[in-house]
Amino acid sequence: MNDPSELLLRVRNRAEREASVLPSCASEQDIADAERVLGFTLPPSLRLLYRQVANGGFGPDYQLFPLIGEGRTAVSEYGVPERFPCEHWPQGVLPILDWGCGMYAAVDCLNPDAPVLLFEPNAGPDDWADAWFLDSPSLTQWLTSWLNGTGWWEEDAMMADDVQEPTPWADVARRLAASA
């Protein structure tokens, strides 16, 4: 995040306005435990989000998963053997939000920019690479889209002529091959 304190403050303020009770933040130990289970480190922007805003429970529509804890978490979703990782889920791509209908927002934790990806399997792709899209080049930009109401998922944005739709993820073939 270029100016993490300003963006995190804006995210926290919106999260507090929208949530009846905001979960407490993840601790450094929670993050260390999550990284140990996942087998990769979280990008700084995602780490800061969980450490300084809340352990999930905020964000677009269905809200971010808690990183770690009870119930559905980013770590548990990534580690469900019958779904993740598998032939269509690249190593190091952490699901952070369930859009419903099998769609996920996920952060590419192996890329220092922490791009946010969209997994959209509903078209029944012949090749799983066709189900992956670049939603935003960074987690920072994705959060800014949420704060500004300009993300593709926003009703007003969906109706706009200039809506920025997710584009195919250019690195997907290489990353899926590496996961196999």
Q: Where are the domains of the chain?
A: 4-179
Within the chain, residue ranges assigned H as helices are 4-18, 28-38, 44-52, 74-78, 139-148, 155-159, 172-179
The pLDDT mean for the chain works out to 88
pLDDT tens per residue, range 47-62: 999 999 999 999 998 8
Pick 4-179's CATH classification: 3.40.1580.10, 3.40.640.10, 3.40.5.90, 3.40.50.720.
Answer: 3.40.1580.10
Report the share of the chain in percent with pLDDT over 70.
87
Closest CA to 102 of 116, 89, 115: 89
Report the alpha-carbon distance of residue 53 to residue 23 in Å, rounded. 9
**133 pLDDT higher than 90:** yes
Residue 163: count of CB within 10 angstroms of its CB: 13
Confidence of residue 18 (pLDDT cuts 50, 70, 90): very high
Between the CA of residue 160 and those of 76, 110, 137, 151, 155, what are the distances in Å?
36, 33, 21, 11, 9
Report the share of the chain in percent with pLDDT over 90.
66
pTM above 0.85, yes or no: yes
**79 pLDDT higher than 90:** no
Angle at 155 (CA atoms; ends 150, 157), nearest 5 degrees: 35
Report the alpha-carbon distance of residue 56 to residue 70 in Å, rounded. 12
Confidence of residue 164 (pLDDT cuts 50, 70, 90): low
What does the pLDDT average to over 112-138?
A: 89
Report the alpha-carbon distance of residue 115 to residue 123 in Å, rounded. 23
- What's the burial of 173, exposed, middle or buried (CB within 10 Å: 0-12/13-18/19+)? middle
Report the alpha-carbon distance of residue 39 to residue 53 in Å, rounded. 24
